[in-house]
Every structure is written in structure tokens, then in C-alpha cells.
Structure 1
Amino acid sequence: LVPAMYNLCLLDPEFDRFDLSAWRIGGYGGAPMPAVTIGKLAERLPNLQLMNAYGATETSSPVTMMPPAETGSRGDSIGVALPCARVAIMDDDGREVPRGQPGELWVAGPMVVPGYWNNPEATAREFTGGFWRSGDIGSMDADGFVYVFDRKKDMINRGGYKVFTTEVENVMLAYPGVAEVAVIGTPCPVLGERVHAFVVSAEGGVDEAALLDHCAAELSDYKVPEGVILRQEPLPRNPNGKVLKRALRDAFAAQHGDGEPAG
């Protein structure tokens, strides 16, 4: 399941009515699992072992996997590379960065496809020296555990400061009453981009001012959303469960064509 599905299960008012004691392994991927969701699952389903996995259509199978015993202490990691895979963290010039430093995840191994069907331009752009360039920004620690911070195209540059949207989303998801969050960058003629959030509230709603106060207490000031759009309908997702942030950016642009912050 994608992480949002676990969160929606937990929000179901009849969740505790079902006997899920036989559920032993919960695999997830496609997006980071919020720490608050991991904690709630551990509390309500203590026998469930969560296993994060990372892969893509271009890899045809997982590239990394989290050892179950490590999920609790490394909940923000996508695990370690599988024996046949290689993950390298590269800078914009195609050079591997030191451990702990952010860069783009490049993936190599027998599971990686050789290219895109009948699309030599895309193949030349996204495959280099046997590696597939994932478009994900992340890092690798000294023990080989890999972390994904954001999609390269979704990372926000606010006045020269990089804002990883997943960090902001995880903070907002920890606030009571928040069911789903998607953070996007919106155009700004002064700063380049500003931080905005689409928030789906659970039953009972969310106080926007209190939510932003919560963000201010947990995040650097430049990461705090400058506008929140509250909605009742679920966030748009593709068939794999990933949030369609392009659709949200288009929706914002249609409502705020000048790119100035709402409110």
C-alpha cells in the first residue's frame, strides 16, 4: 500500500472493529511514510512489521528494502540497496556526493530497463553510464541506509532556500485532524517560489491558524506554508496512489493566476 492508504485505514471509525492480528507484514512505498502514521500503526497493530521498499517502473522491481527490525528507528529511510542493486547519490554534474549529503538518486543493476521504448531522446536524458537517473532527491548515510527527501521537480526554492515538501507534509500530518497533505511551490516574482499546502481534514475539521502555529513551532520560518487551502475531497492521485502535484499546481494557478500568496 502507499502510505496514504494506511493513514486512511487508521481514520476509518470502524478500524478497531476488525481482527487484524494475522496481518504480519505491511509493505509500503511510492511516498514517505509519516512518522506519526508509523507510531499509530505500532500502537494499534503491534504485531505488524512495516517494510519500506523503493522502486519505479524503470526498475521493474524494488531497488531498496527496509529490514523490518529497523523501521522503528529509521522510519524516514527507504532501506538499503538490495544485493544486486547499486544506488549512487549524485550532484548536478554527475559526481557522487559524500555520505550524508543530498543529491539525485541514480540506480543501476539487472532490474533496471535499458531505456524507453521508441524514445531515444528520453533514454539519452535519463540513462547515463548504466545508471537510471530517478529524479528523486535524497541521501545515503554511513551505514548505507538511503533517504528520499523529495522529487527534484517538486522541491521548492524559496529565495535561495531549498524546501523539501515531504518534510513540511510530515509536520502537518502530525497535527490532529489532518488526513492528507500536499505541499507545492507557487510562483512568486520576488522569491521565485512560495510554500503552499493543500490540506484534507478528517471529520471535525482543522483550524488553519492553529495548524500554521504548529508548523512555525516545528519548522524554520521559510518552510512554513504561506497559504493553506482546506478541502474535503481527497487529493488527486494516479492509479499507483501518488499525489498528482501538477494537478494541484494547475488548480492553484487557475485560482491565483498572479502567483501571489492566498490570504
Structure 2
Amino acid sequence: MNTTPGTTPAALIRAVGEHANGLAVVDGDTRLTFTRLHEYVRDFAAALVARGFRPGDRAAIWSPNTFHWEIAALGVHWAGGVVVPVNTRYTGSEAADIVERVNAAALVVAGEFLGSDRYTQLQQAAPDLAVPTVVRVPLGGNDTPSSDVFDWEDFLALATDDLRAEADARAAAVQPDDVADILFTSGTTGRSKGVLSAHRQTIGVADAWGDCAELSPADNYLIINPFFHSFGYKAGFAAALLKGSTVVPMAVFDTEKVMEIVSRESISVLPGAPTIYQSILDHPRRDEYDMSTLRIAITGAAPVPVALVERMQRELSFDAVLTAYGQTEAVVATMCRTDDDPVTVSNSSGRATAGFEVRIGDKDEILLRGPNVMLGYLDDPEATAATIDADGWLHTGDVGTLDDRGYLAITDRLKDMYISGGFNVYPAEVESALLRVPGVHEVAVIGVPDTRMGEVGRAFVVPLDGHRPTEGDIIAYAKEKLANFKVPRSVRFVDTLPRNPSGKVLKNVLREEKS
């Protein structure tokens, strides 16, 4: 058997050799074989070369799940560059911050989508931001014409045979230790941190995930998890590329649309948050769709009740339901296996995979070590050193236990991070924004239970003397400056914040608030 390729260009070449006429991507009416995907990737890379994009340059992608995203990401790698995914829920200010920090040489951005034009938002937030090459992904909206933006087809048309040859040479020169991507994750300091990973690491976690899910060329993989997240990217289309599976991307989640796609495209692999499966099970029209092809479900980010696992297997025909654990800094560290029973799936996040070692450190913190721990944080050696110790252990900030089989259970978080709708929210970042609201003296944010989102934010605000901002003022400002999943859903005004003798806010006391 062939050894695992060390880079995404090598993975694409192998996929073409083994599955040339197999379907790589199905996106509505667009159906790309691995051969056609390869051709598109070469054209995209050649067009980048035409625009002066150099090996090691960075390209940001701010767009939802469509076939364009995969072509762009693999095309950036083919040209020797680094992919920088941007959260589609970010505001123009948040996206501009990332584009500026990575000094992006190219930007692939969605056209009008869900009523907004992201490139216009970016320009409004950062009028002086200059990106040499901007490519617009056509999504059927009424895109604002712009002389400094390439439409998708016009960009691909820049490719010539000579440029393709140069791009091919660059793809062949990419090494496993070269940086493949920079994924940004909010940090406890209040500013997002860029996580650097090498090609061998992106490939390593994708390959391990594919092994645990038992992906094969027979699988049709519906990817609801966003491509800007490691779940949709590395455990998503990268894993499918390695295993020869067909990717079916979904740009906007809709329960009935999911059921329709599962039925129409014979979907066999369906990862997602537990709420996705619950919404399908409870849908009144579920029986109208044939979902008998479903084989594997992979979930995480929230506890999975045993009863839900059993219903998924009994009523949705899943052969196996798996849970997994990871972070952007490690992607997939533990995962269940297909023969694990429902109780194990519900009560654990599986056992080590992808070459990871797992142990429990001081204060029951989960520590990870292995070849796929991130290279480090972008331009932040101090934060890197604080996260990865001298012995190579990644300090996750999560609290858990290991049983005698090596299965990991997540029991708490050392950090204040909470999960809202499947997205990590770091209160320090929200607090930093809310401190700019006129009349706010101090603020502390916590996550509180919510039946639909799992958790949502609640802000405790100490007003300045003589000022009285309203709850509406606070929330409106947050909506302007932050992605929707970070916006607190409620505000409590208090005279003081509870603190310990060293001045640290006692968020456990705030969590005990009942109203």
C-alpha cells in the first residue's frame, strides 16, 4: 500500500492516480472528478503565479462551504502558499484584523451572501487595507462591481501553460515541514491567535480522522462544519481527499435541506454538533426522506446523551456514532472507534489518535503531546511557550479524566471559554470590546445555559458613576463589533464585580446568579 503523502499537493496527485474518474466534489449542479478538481487547482495556482504570488505568501479565504473553497485552498498550497481561513461570521473589522496580521497577498472572498457583501464590509472597516489580489466567489447575489476584484472565472482565465508549469514546479517543491495553514482561534488575552500547522500535520490529523471514521471511496461526505474550522477543513475535505471520498459541501445549514441532500446524494458520513441530529430526529417530515445510506456520525463540542446515540442508530440507521476531542492547536487528539458502545460514546471523547499522547496534569488539566501539536502561534513566542512546555506537552486548559482503557472524558474548563452553537467564545475578547461602550466601567462575561445554543453569553456590567448605558446599548455595540455567536444575549448591571484578594474576578460567583 502507498505510504501517506506528506503534503496536500502530493495527496491530490495520489488521489488523481487512484481515483481519476471518481467524484471528488458534488456541490449542487457542480460535479467534479478528482481529475477535474486537479485541473481547477492547477489553474487557480497558475493564476496566483500570474499575480506575483510567491512561495510562502499567505492567502486568506473568507467564504462559506462551496467547491470554490476547496479549489482555492488546494490551489494556494499548489502555488507554495499558506492558507488562512477566516470565520464567515466575523464582522469586517474582525476579518480585516486577520488579513492585516498575516499580510495577505491574496484574498478569496464571498460575493453577496445572506444579504451582505463581505468585501464591502472589509473596505468599510479598513479603508486603507490593500491586498494585491482579491478573488470573488460567485454565490448568486447582486455583487457590487469593483475594479480591484477578480470574478472567479476571470481569475482562472489568467492561467497559461507556462504558468501551470511554474505552479507544478512549486507544488513539487512543497515539503512536509512547510507551513500549510494559519487558523485563528480567539485567545484568553482578548485577541485572536494564529495557529501555525505544517503540511505533515494537516495531513496527519486528516489521515487519522479518516481512519477512525473508516472513510473510503464509497463514502459521500456531507460537510456542514465550516471549512474555516479544522473540523470542516482538516477532518473534512482534507480527510476525504486522502481517502478518495466524495465531498458534498453545505453553505448554510437547514434541517430539511440536509435531509433532502442525504436522500438525493446517498450521504453516508454526516458529522456535526448534537443539535443537528436532534433537529433531524424531531423533524415532522423526516419519514418523507430516504436516509438509509447514513453510516457514520461524528460529533463533539457538547455532551451527547446516551438516548440520542441510541436514537441515531435506531432511527437514522447509523452504523456508528463517534465523538472526538481536539483544539485548533491539535485538531484531532482523541476519537471513538466504530465498535464503541453508546455509553462509551456518550461519556467520553474517545482514545488517543493521530500519534498523540494524552495525560492528566496538575489541576486535572488535559495535556497533549505528539507530532501534530501546532508549530506555534503566529508572531507570539511568549504565548507559544506558555502553551507548549519544554517537554513538548500542549496545555489545553481543559479539565478531564482518563479511564483505564485510555478513554478521555472532558469534565470542565480551566479557561473561561464557553461554547455557543458549536463555536468557542472567549469572554476576554468580548469583555475587551464591551469596555469601549460609553459609560461602561467594568465588565465580565460568562456563558449561561441555553436550550437552543447550548450556552450563550451574559455580560455583568459596572457602569461609570453618573452613566447608565442600557442593555440595548451594550448588545447593539457588540453586534456591530463582534460575530453574532460572541454577542451576549443578556446584560446584568451590578455595582461591583466579585473578586478574590488578588483582584481576579470570581466568575464562579457570577455563574451562581439565578436571574
TM-score range, shorter chain: 0.5 to 0.7
- Partner Cα separation in structure 2 for residue 23 and residue 196 of structure 1: 34
Question: What residue is the counterpart of 2:406 in the other structure?
Answer: 144
Matches within 5 A, 1:41-60: 41-59=312-330
Match of 2:451 in 1: 199
Which residue does the alignment assign to 1:62? 332
Corresponding position of 2:493: 257
Q: 2:392: which partner in 1?
A: 130
> Secondary structure at the residue paired with 1:42?
helix
Per-residue deviation, residues 194-244 of structure 1 (Å, max 9, x unmatched): 99532349xxxxxxxxxxxxxxxxxxxxxxxxxxxxxxxxxxxx99xxx95
Q: What is the deviation of 1:125?
A: 1.6
Q: Which residue of 1 aligns with 2:287?
A: 16
* Number of the residue aligned with 2:376: 115
Unmatched tracts of structure 2, length 5 or more: 1-271, 423-445, 454-481, 495-509
Q: Select the structure that is richer in helix.
A: 2
TM superposition score normalised by structure 2 = 0.31
Cα distance in 2 between the residues matched to 1:55 and 1:197: 22
Larger Rg: 2
The Cα of 1:145 is off from its aligned counterpart by 0.8
Distance 1:71 1:151, change over 3 A: farther
What are the ranges of 5 or more consecutive residues in structure 1 without an aligned counterpart?
93-102, 156-164, 167-178, 181-193, 202-237
Q: Residue 58 and residue 261 in structure 1: after superposition, are their counterparts in 2 closer, same or farther (change >3 A)?
A: closer
Post-superposition offset of 1:110: 0.7
2:293 and 2:317 in contact (8 A); partners too: no
In the aligned structure 1, how far is the partner of 2:324 from the partner of 2:414?
A: 19
Q: Is the 8 A contact 1:51 1:71 kept in 2?
A: no
1:79 corresponds to 2:350: yes
Which residue does the alignment assign to 2:118? none
Give me the whole-angstrom Cα distance separating, in 2, the residues matched to 1:152 and 1:5. Answer: 27
Q: Is the 8 A contact 2:313 2:319 kept in 1?
A: yes
The 3 A distance-change label for structure 1 pair 18 and 151 is farther
Distance 1:197 1:62 in 2: 26
Asked if residue 4 in structure 1 is aligned to residue 275 in structure 2, the reply is: yes
Structure 1 62/51 Cα, relative in aligned 2: closer, same or farther at 3 Å? same
Give the 3-state SS of the residue equivalent to 1:73 in structure 2.
helix
Count of residues in Structure 1 that have an aligned counterpart in Structure 2: 177
Cα displacement (A) at 1:154: 4.5
Work out the CA distance in 2 between the residues paired with 1:73 and 1:87: 21
- Identical counterparts, % of pairs: 29
| Partner SS for 1:57 | coil
Map 1:168-207 onto structure 2 (within 5 A).
Answer: 197-200=449-452
CA RMSD of aligned residues (A): 3.6
Contact 1:32 1:148 (C-alpha < 8 Å) held by counterparts: no
Contact 1:29 1:53 in 2 (8 A): yes
- Three-state SS of the structure 1 residue aligned to 2:398 is strand
Alignment correspondent of 1:89? 360
User: Which amino acid in structure 1 is aligned with residue 332 of structure 2?
Assistant: P
| In 1: Cα distance, 2:295 partner to 2:329 partner | 29
Structure 1 counterpart of 2:343, one-letter code: S
Deviation at 1:83, TM superposition (A): 6.0
Structure 2: how far apart are the matches of 1:47 and 1:199? 25
Cα contact 1:112–1:132 (8 A) shared by 2:
yes
Q: Secondary structure at the match of 1:37?
A: helix
Give the number of the structure whose residues are more often strand, by fraction. 1
* TM-fit CA distance, 1:22: 0.9
> Structure 1 residues 4 and 154 mapped into 2: Cα distance closer, same or farther (>3 Å)?
farther
CA-CA distance at 1:45 after TM superposition: 2.2
Q: 1:16 and 1:154 mapped to 2: Cα distance?
A: 41
> How big is the shift at 1:32?
2.7
The alpha carbon displacement at 1:84 in A equals 1.4
Q: Amino acid of the residue matched to residue 107 of structure 1?
A: L
Distance in structure 2 (CA, Å) of the matches to 1:106 and 1:112: 11
Q: Which amino acid aligns with 1:77?
A: S
Maintained 8 Å contact 2:376/2:384: yes
Which residue identity lines up with residue 398 of structure 2 in the other structure?
A: D
Supply the distance in 1 between the matched residues of 2:385 and 2:305 (Cα, whole angstroms): 35
Distance in structure 2 (CA, Å) of the matches to 1:83 and 1:197? 33
Change (3 A) 1:112 1:195: closer
TM-score of the pair, normalised by structure 1: 0.57
Between the aligned partners of 2:325 and 2:359, the Cα distance in structure 1 is 14
